[in-house]
A and B are shown apart, each in its own frame.
Chain A
Amino acid sequence: MTHPVHRPGHVGARFPKVDGAGKADGSGVYADDIRLPRMLHAKILRSPHANARIRGIDVTLAASYPGVVATLVGAEMPAKYGVIPWTHDEQALATDHARFVGDEVACVAAVDERTADEALRLIRVDYEPMPALLTVEDALAHPEIKVNERAKVGNVTKHVELEFGPVDDAVARAAAVCHQVYEYAGSTHAPIEPHCAVARVDGDGNLTVWSSTQIPHYVQRELSRVLGLPQSKVRVIQPLLGGAFGGKSDPFSLEFCVAKLAMKTGRPVKILFTREEVFYAHRGRHPMRMDVKVALDGDGRISAVDNKIHIDGGAYASFGLVTAYYAGQLLTGPYRFGTYRFDSTRVYTNKPPCGPKRGHGSVQPRFAFEVALDEAAEQLGIDPIEVRRRNFIGENVETVNGQRITSNGFLKCLELVEEASRWTERHGKLGPGRGLGVAGSMYISGTAYPVYPNEMPQSGVLLKLDRSGRVTVYSGASDIGQGVNTLLCQICAEEMGCDPRDVTVVAADTDLTPVDLGAYSSRVTFMVGLAAREACEKLADKLRAAVAAKLGCAPADVRLELGTAAGPQGTMSFAEACQLAEAAEGATLASTGGYRTKKLGGDYRGGTIGASPAYSFTAHVAEVEVDEETGIWTVRKLWAAHDCGKALNPTLVEGQIEGSVYMGAAEAQMEEMIYDRSGLLFGPSLLDYRIPTSLDTPEIDARIVESDDPNGPYGAKEAGEGPLHPAIPAIANAIHDACGIRIRQLPFYPQRILQLLRERDARRAGSERVA
């Protein structure tokens, strides 16, 4: 196999991140690093009750506390908002109903943070506590108690039921059926940077908000709506962002509070969430209970999949409407399903709202399905890798639910992890307490349609060439650490031959940059990549034409590479080429590019949700070791192969795979949002919640597979979320290989493993007695 040799910094190169130096020397500016003259600091008062009527809020004492400059209550900005236009059900500060312990109720701005904190204690809130509904069962059993008034039926955020083909017939005729219930625990993103926002209003009433958000455009829209300002007077800027993973993809109370307080006081205002508040802001992984049937025919082909899903949503919708769909819609690859049905219900409960965490909505059903598939294959005596290979859906096909798959490198992924883990010689043969497990998955490269219906491009890029040879890319996309700013420089270098270090990226500033919808659903590389390439191609054409006129050759004979423009007879520097083109243009050299929505998806209600211009594919093999005396288990190694279409920067892609695998393994190992009977989150700190340290993280071997997607930029697809999915079921399947137990509840706590081992031993003893 041969690989093209890439020039430094061009597409496909291992090019260091362009913002790396600023991050390495501490000079990079994150939201909390912003300090403005006369800036105030604000703090938010939160509800101590999980469900309470608010009869009144008295801020008089707080307002007169020395150092306090302004107070704020919900009645001053009561409009409801939410990231999805169909489910506006949140208020920046609750006016009459607090829906979880930690729900925002009032806010104080003062000369410093501690003064604001002290003043919060002087606010008197008259609560009328009501019974709290903390589980899906309770929320469904008590429709008369409303967690959120937006729910039309009881406490249901969204119910979806879709069937593709005669599922029950296929199950009845199946050679093997695995029917089990799986429970996935809620977990949270825990980015190391807490949410922070700073607002300023200028003399003309223009509002600027710097926020640690991954969706500047949606924040701009919602600020405008809630504050009653024209969108043209609201500017949202995303500074460097210290991790997000979906946890910063909703508009949050702090953004509205700093904006309103800046408008009230005429002074800049900052709010920095404490770590405890980050846990209440949440929007993390939904707890799900999944009643799953996987049916195989006599050849081991998947004839039916049936999944009844209950989703614990917390107090607000967030992206929950989409979650209810994704839980079903994204399961239909990389394997062909003969028939498929899902019945998905997202329910409001009196807990911090869940939302999109890396692998939104589909990580939980993927776990259930991949474990059930293993179990069904075992009934037929088929090897776990073989059953996955046999059911491969292929390329350029439509899934059972009408989603179009283009490139599909899943078989290569499977082959790589099979070889690397020495599966054939070791699976089932590692002896007691050690085992291997496999799992696969599919994920979207962006959603085909924008969150709010419109005909405008989902991503735009504006490009400007300076006569110095400096290229400036204006992009609305959010670099949240995944490295999109670096990719933009590489695309400029690839198309125009400039040095990628001579590219300035102006990003995620709604006044300066074209709209990009945000860093979610793994859409950025695919969509902004195509937009950037289009803009670059337009300018490259102008450069070639101007250089060709000067050198007396055809434009097609001009090569733009390595900082030069070269014709058959003669070479000039990139800057000289820019000058010639600017002279020919008679105006500033600029161009635009866009990603336009393709018409995709199944022809039924909801068929567009889960439709994506391209799908990524992943396979994992996990090797685990289980101590049967204690139930303590460890992952010795995780092999992960991911089909990202084309690695525009292999170092960044590996980083996405490794980070995903880590986060998936963490959910299997230890992470869970636990609440007590009053709805109080247990231990809202990094120490008590526990995220893995270097000592807890398994060895990860990340492999990149390139399937060269026909529609992606240079063949690229997503890499940031897909590789998380298989980690959890691969570990569960490895635990089965190690000791013959099926763990169906997350996290895989040692005490749960121990309980299953005891049940296994009891079964074995029982069967021996029978024998």
Chain B
Amino acid sequence: MSTGHRRKTLVRLLVNGEEHTLAVPVQRTLLEALRYELGLTGSKQGCDKGDCGACTVLARPRDGSGRGEPILSCITLAQDAQELALTTIEGLAGPQGLDPVQRAFADCGALQCGFCQPGMMLSARALLDQCPRPTLPQIQEALSGNLCRCTGYTKIYEAVEVAAGLREPASRPPVSSERAAASDQVAHVPKEIAP
């Protein structure tokens, strides 16, 4: 039986601009280190095997060169992330407050349960850093590694376009049907539903 989780190793992680030195089991994933060791619970565990994208964080070289690329923290070992400068959802907001992506997701109703959103927003931020005025197919491609089960993605695309300054949030008014007259309130004795 494996006892790998009892052997610990020292890892240095640079997360949201802060340096951390942690003693973690050698099998510790980056997601576990973020959530359990650093209390950065904004990164979510949806599948723990790289399928859903809820654990997405942004990574770039420690020297600050290059752009943040989305990586899956649940299938990255903590010890393999030591050369990276990491951004989690907790680090996305800047001194001016929420990132435009975060604000647009809230304004457009792009978040429902919110569980996929940290990863989704980080993927969206990576896209906009690389391509400030993306087309719809580019947005769809960039977010295709982040599963959302609530929204049908429609308002997520809208939010990315709003964050990019390409459009305003949706505002189509509802359409009226004819007003119903007062109901006739057919009354019955309530019955138990026992078979």
Contact = CB atoms under 8 A, between A and B. Distances in A.
B43 interface: yes
Contacts of B88: 26
B17 interface: no
Interface in B164-180: 169-180
B27 to A, nearest CB: 8
B19 interface: no
Given A14-B171, A112-B5, A695-B144, A707 B109 contact: no
Contact of A652 (B1, B49, B109): B109
Contact of B108 (A190, A651, A705): A651
Contact of A693 (B1, B144, B176, B186): B144
Interface stretch (B60-68, B76-84, B90-98): B90-98
Interface string A593-610: 000011111110111110
Interface in A563-604: 597-603
Task: Classify chain A's interface size.
Answer: 35 or more
Contacts of A32: 41, 45
Contacts of A17: 106, 109, 111
Given A601-B188, A703-B175, A711 B89 contact: no
B173 A650 contact: yes
Contact of B175 (A25, A606, A652, A706): A706
A301 to B, nearest CB: 22
A240 B114 contact: yes
B180 A407 contact: yes
B1 A118 contact: yes
A28 interface: yes
Contact of B113 (A86, A114, A194, A481): A481
Given A192-B113, A193-B44, A608-B193, A481 B150 contact: yes
B47 A275 contact: yes
B147 A406 contact: no
Contacts, number: 283
Given A194-B45, A242-B44, A695-B141, A608 B152 contact: no
Nearest to A483: B112
B191 interface: yes
B9 interface: no
B52 A686 contact: yes
B184 A453 contact: no
A25 B144 contact: no
A622 interface: no
A707 B188 contact: no
Interface of A is mostly: loop
A691 interface: yes
B152 A192 contact: no
B185 to A, nearest CB: 8
B113 A242 contact: yes
Contacts of B178: 395, 409, 412, 707
Contact of A702 (B105, B150, B154, B180): B154
B114 A23 contact: yes
B109 A694 contact: no
Nearest to A650: B174
Interface in B1-45: 1-2, 5, 27, 35-36, 40-45
A96 B154 CA distance: 48
Nearest to A691: B147
A712 to B, nearest CB: 10
A406 B47 contact: no
B174 A705 contact: yes
A395 B180 contact: yes
B131 to A, nearest CB: 16
Contacts of B170: 651, 654
Nearest to B119: A192
A686 B45 contact: no
A631 interface: no
Contacts of A411: 177
A86 to B, nearest CB: 5
A601 B187 CA distance: 8
Given A23-B117, A242-B44, A662 B151 contact: yes
B112 A599 contact: no
A647 interface: yes
Contacts of A600: 186, 188
Contact of B177 (A114, A686, A707): A707
Given A274-B48, A709-B180, A245 B42 contact: no
Contacts of B184: 396, 404
A700 B42 CA distance: 29
Given A26-B118, A409-B178, 20 more contacts: A3-B176, A19-B114, A21-B106, A24-B114, A30-B115, A114-B27, A192-B113, A242-B115, A244-B113, A275-B51, A395-B181, A407-B177, A407-B179, A407-B180, A600-B186, A641-B175, A662-B154, A705-B174, A705-B177, A710-B183
18 contacts: A1-B176, A26-B88, A112-B5, A242-B113, A242-B115, A398-B186, A406-B180, A481-B113, A483-B112, A609-B193, A647-B174, A650-B172, A658-B152, A659-B112, A659-B152, A691-B147, A693-B145, A710-B183
Closest 10 CB pairs of A and B: A26-B42, A242-B115, A662-B152, A23-B114, A481-B113, A409-B177, A26-B89, A407-B180, A20-B106, A481-B112
